[in-house]
Amino acid sequence: MTDAIKIDVWSDIACPWCYIGKRNLESGLAAASTDDDAPVVEVVFHSYELAPDTPVDFDGGETDYLAHHKGIPAEQAREMLDRVTGVAADAGLEYRFDKLKHTNTVKAHQLLHFAKAEGKQPELTERLMSAYFTEGRHLGRDDELVALAADAGLDPEAARDALVSERYLDDVRADQAQAQAYGINGVPFFVIDGKYGVSGAQPAEAFAQIARQVWEERRQVGAAEPEESVA
């Protein structure tokens, strides 16, 4: 049997395009899964902090953040948010920038590595992104993160211990170092099977196409390999 295609995704839970990219990836893979010879895919998320200097408690909304910390004129910032809200809606997501609480995401990334160790990374990634962009939850606070971990099926006390001990911080830094080695300077960024790099929230059709392409390459390589003789 052909090994699963591995898709490594560098993203930040506070990146609006990352959630859109995640949803488009899922939609594309779902479309490819109906093929007669459907690709088998494993998706792994990796840490990337878009704004590591962001305070845990930011005073102001998303427009204020873009205007005061990124130097984007307020009117242009509002237009940007309206545009991304429309793109998110096309992907089936209801962004609520009016409720969003901008915060530092390093603790959320540590919790995602804990979830990976517990076999719950996909569930927690979805829960955190949904909480941040659609529910206005504060993802910089331990109590909020622990509650969301429980929603994703993780043990809340173990999740709290992971946060307090910071034992997954080195894993976060390792992901960031790998991103730097790859030359990644923006997210979402997808590394397909360790050899193809895809930048940005591509349409679902693009993800379906590349999954099919890589799966076909795998199948052709497998067919070309000589069979082992049986004594």
Residue 94 one-letter amino acid: E
Longest pairwise C-alpha distance within the chain = 75
Q: What φ, ψ does residue 84 adopt, rounded to 5°? A: -70, -30
Kindly state which CATH superfamily the domain 5-224 is placed in: Glutaredoxin (3.40.30.10)
Question: Tokens for 98?
Answer: 């009016």
pLDDT digits (tens, 9 = 90+) for 11-28: 999 999 999 999 999 999
pLDDT digits (tens, 9 = 90+) for 167-187: 999 999 999 999 999 999 999
Q: pLDDT value at position 176?
A: 98
Answer whether 222's CB lies under 8 Å from 45's CB.
no
Q: pLDDT value at position 224?
A: 61
Instruction: Determine the Cα–Cα distance for residues 107 and 74; give it in Å rounded to an integer.
Output: 29
Q: Does residue 231 carry a pLDDT above 50?
A: no
pLDDT digits (tens, 9 = 90+) for 170-229: 999 999 999 999 999 999 999 999 999 999 999 999 999 999 999 999 888 866 655 543
Closest CA to 56 of 140, 124, 137: 140
Instruction: Determine the Cα–Cα distance for residues 102 and 58; give it in Å rounded to an integer.
Output: 6
Overall pTM > 0.85: yes
